[in-house]
Amino acid sequence: MTKPGHDAGSGVGEMLPELDARGRSLRISVLTRPGCHLCVRAVSAVADVCDSLGDVGYAEVDIDEVAERDQQVRARYGEWVPVTFVDGTMHDYFTVDPERLREALTST
């Protein structure tokens, strides 16, 4: 099953599973692009926060793959990667503040 209603667009929501690779409930998605050094840092920060919380899953989504289904995703977020979404809503772009992310995940 996928997560519809992702505010990055339908193409992103269609790509997201309910669970991450470790079987954790997917709450975070990160739009990335291959070769992007900021994306590597953002995904690492997200992984660290998810691991520290234990039950929070994440997915890395290649914006160029999504754009094949939904060109609006590239138009809207292409210059901002990495873009981090929490529960389908945009949370951050360019960088990830681990404390701010942790707060967003634990305040709901």
| Strand ranges of the sheet holding 83-86, from the earlier edge strand across to the other edge | 56-62, 25-32, 83-86, 89-93
How many angstroms separate the CA atoms of 27 and 88, rounded?
8
Model pLDDT, residue 3: 54
Nearest to 81 by CA among 71, 69, 101, 96: 96
Q: For residue 91, is it within any domain?
A: yes
Our count of domains for the chain comes to 1
Q: For residue 57, is it within any domain?
A: yes
Confidence grade of residue 108 (pLDDT, cut at 50, 70, 90): low
Q: For residue 22, is it within any domain?
A: yes
Identify the domain containing residue 67 by its residue range.
Answer: 10-106
Q: For residue 4, is it within any domain?
A: no
Q: For residue 40, is it within any domain?
A: yes
Q: For residue 21, is it within any domain?
A: yes
Q: Do residues 19 and 48 lie in contact, with contact meaning Cβ atoms separated by under 8 Å?
A: no
CATH of the domain at 26: 3.40.30.10
Q: For residue 1, is it within any domain?
A: no
List pLDDT tens digits, range 48-104.
999 999 999 999 999 999 999 888 999 999 999 999 999 999 999 999 999 999 999
